[in-house]
Amino acid sequence: MAPLDTLRQRLGRLNRAGRTIAPYAAIVAMKEDVSPNAKDPIYGQAIRHAWARLKEAATKAGRELLVDFGLATFAVRLSEEALSPKPVAPVLMPAHVDLLSQTSPIPAADPEIACFLHGPERQPDSVAVVWRADIDPRDADEDSVERIRRLLTLVPPRAAEALEMPISMVRAWLSGSKSTALLADVPSDVSEAEPEGLPRERRRVFRWKGQDALSRWIRPEEIRPGDTIVVPASYGGVDEFGWNIRSTAGVPDVARHAALPFAGRRFFVRVAPGLIPHEMNNRLAETLANVESQPWQDVRDALLDLHLPADVHDDLLALSEATRPSRVITDMHVYGETDQGFPRGVLFLSPFGIRSGETKQEGISSSTEDDISGSLLGLPVTLAQHSEDVEHRAEQFAKAAGLSADRVHDLKLAGYLHDLGKADPRFQAWLHYGDPLGIAFDASPNVLAKSGRSLPRSARANSLLPENWRHEAFSVRLATSVPRFAEAKDPDLVLWLVGVHHGYGRPFFPHADPLDRADRQLPAVCGLPANVPAGRGPQSFGFDWRGHDWPKLFERLRARYGAWGLAHMEAILRLADHRASEDAKESRT
């Protein structure tokens, strides 16, 4: 039982997929919760009043009382006393909006958004906790960060394996405190204070933010609201009934189970310590060392000779049904090496799934803030084709959003220009498996937006790309040299949308590019000139667009369209990029 508004929210999740069934839910209340003097520690007296309103509106069907929660038929009187307590909402000032719209990097004086969402007197902040058995707590150091980023990029956490918990409880648990607090699905008066007394330990967790510098090992006090944290399963914290701060037993790894509904689209098999009996770890490492340079089929066959757990064995057999066997990835680096230099484990990934697998809609984005996730689709996609696809999708979404004809035109143009920076020969060298020679400058059909292969860790270093280099910043420089840019109704807006379509550049970028000081030669694709003269990109304060640097352009556009309007158009272009990538994968599966 809960207040009426909370019940409506919960029941709104019932049959969300719209299956052809008659959805049913039971509302249960204990007698003491609905008695005249009842006062719940979370909801106050709202439960008692909500129960009374439900009984007023209920119709009798046999021994049952029925209430229809359908939007058109809901007839329960929503009296104030039957609703969740509402805190006083603070006023969102223009200065707050100005700071919140600056996301790259986040300002030091960043407003606490939870205060505006839930009120100043309550603490609802939560984090999503994911347990993985193939992450070893002994790897909780800086040397393993890149490796674990790649592991989580290939096998990203899914909502089905996450438990959302109040941040204060998670911090207390990781710090060794045994304190407990009330759990509820509405904001509650939970203190953010550190646990009392000296902690016995401060176990580190891996914050997951994609292929970003924010994805790293952090201490409990570094956890922030809204974080997704991945913890070694050996930490415990969960028992068969759910969250249990006192439980020290290992937590089952459910990543495989969470991914099974999508096996027809993307299928992985992990064979690593933590997922197999401990006594098999050495045998696994020796086996992998003997087949390290072999095709994935030979690696799989060698593993089938081991006495692996039944689910791992079955999944290895299922790889025979890979939709595109030539695209199956074998990665023996994501689990590190033993003291003898042998691979500790292996990850197989079939990016197009298996033929017998389920094909539910993916819950993960196909285009993200990082170059690795956004440029590895499992199949090659040319820059020319991807540009046209995003242009089409941007026009479609902008029209559906009811934007003016000029704004639709500019979003469409930005969609075509958004990835021009990927034509940089260094980026192409990276996408072509780290080939330092890259591609021929007249080979436009080979200029890629998405790579068709898993790229080794050395590929980016071999390409000579600067650290944290962002292709969209170079896209801004190149856009003005393409003939189609003259079509822009608002050139400022088009440049801005191109530059921020991955979330960076609002208003700063994380890199510097020494080649900006030299002339460059480019491949012939998408109307690009053969030669680009030296010039500053938007990542530099020396960037000049009609007398304005990049932060000044941001200021002008916010004044012109408002923070919300600008963010709205950015979201449309990012969605178009996501969907175009999904469409490309669907059309080739």
Q: In the chain, count of helices (H) and strands (E)?
A: 18, 16
**Cα diameter, the chain:** 83
Q: Round to whole Å and give the CA distance between 135 and 147.
A: 11
Q: Could you please report the per-residue DSSP string of 120-165?
A: TT----EEEEEEETTS-GGG-SGGGHHHHHHHHHHS---GGGEEEE
Please tell me the distance from the alpha carbon of residue 148 to that of residue 139, in angstroms, as a whole number: 9
Measured CA to CA, the distance from residue 272 to residue 292 in angstroms comes to: 15
Which DSSP category does 548 fall into?
B
With beta carbons less than 8 A apart as the criterion, state whether 256 and 135 touch: no
- Show the tokens assigned to 37: 């003097």
Residues in CB range of 291: below 8 A, 6 or more apart: 298, 299, 302
What pLDDT score does 359 carry?
67
Q: How far apart are CA 476 and CA 501, in angstroms?
A: 11
Domain ranges of the chain: 4-82, 126-187+199-253, 263-350, 375-587
CB 502 within 8 A of CB 418: no
DSSP code at position 49: H
Would you state the structure tokens that stand for residue 316, as one six-digit string? 């290895």
Closest among 526, 383, 519, 530 to 442, alpha carbons compared:
530
CB-based contact 204:217 (threshold 8 Å): yes
Overall fold of domain 375-587: Hypothetical protein af1432 (1.10.3210)
- Please give the backbone phi and psi of residue 93, each rounded to the nearest 5 degrees, phi first: -90, 160
CB contact at 8 A, 342 and 290: no
Task: Tell me the CA distances in angstroms from 6 to 2, 65, 85, 166, 588, one per residue in order.
Answer: 6, 19, 11, 18, 43
| Residue 557: per-residue pLDDT | 98
Helix (H) or strand (E) holding 207: strand 205-207
Prediction pTM value: 0.69
> Mapping DSSP to helix (H, G, I), strand (E, B) and coil, where does residue 54 land?
helix
Q: Which amino acid is at 546?
A: R
For 564, the 3-state DSSP assignment is: helix
CB contact at 8 A, 475 and 498: yes
Exposed, middle or buried: residue 365 (CB in 10 Å: 0-12, 13-18, 19+)? middle
The values of phi and psi at residue 131, to 5°, are: -100, 130
Please report the pLDDT score of residue 442 as a whole number: 54
Bridge-partner residues for 205, per DSSP? 218
Helix 491-499 vs helix 471-479: crossing angle, to nearest 10: 160
Interatomic CA distance for residues 61 and 65, integer angstroms: 6
Q: State how beta strands 238-239 and 242-243 pair.
A: antiparallel
Give the model's pLDDT for residue 502.
Answer: 94
Determine the Cα–Cα distance for residues 36 and 288; give it in Å rounded to an integer: 68
Q: Which residues contact 537 (CB under 8 A, 6 or more apart)?
A: 473, 474, 476, 477, 509, 513, 516, 543
Contacts of 354 (CB under 8 A, 6+ apart): 263, 264, 267, 318, 319, 321, 322, 323
Quote the CA–CA distance of 563 and 96 in Å, as a whole number. 11
Read off the tokens for 87: 């805190």
CA distance 54 to 70: 14
pLDDT tens for the chain, 589 residues long, are: 899 999 988 888 888 878 888 888 899 988 888 888 888 877 888 999 999 999 998 888 888 888 888 877 788 888 889 898 877 778 999 999 999 999 988 888 888 887 887 777 665 578 999 999 999 999 888 889 999 999 999 999 999 999 999 898 999 999 887 555 555 555 555 444 444 443 446 799 999 998 778 899 999 999 988 899 999 999 999 998 888 888 999 999 999 999 999 999 899 999 999 999 999 999 999 999 999 889 999 999 999 999 999 999 999 999 999 999 998 999 999 999 999 999 999 999 998 899 987 766 554 444 455 555 555 555 688 999 999 999 999 999 999 999 999 999 999 999 999 999 999 999 998 887 655 555 555 555 678 898 766 666 677 878 889 989 999 999 999 999 999 999 999 999 999 999 999 999 999 999 999 999 999 999 989 999 999 999 999 999 999 999 999 999 999 999 999 999 999 999 999 999 999 988 887 776 5
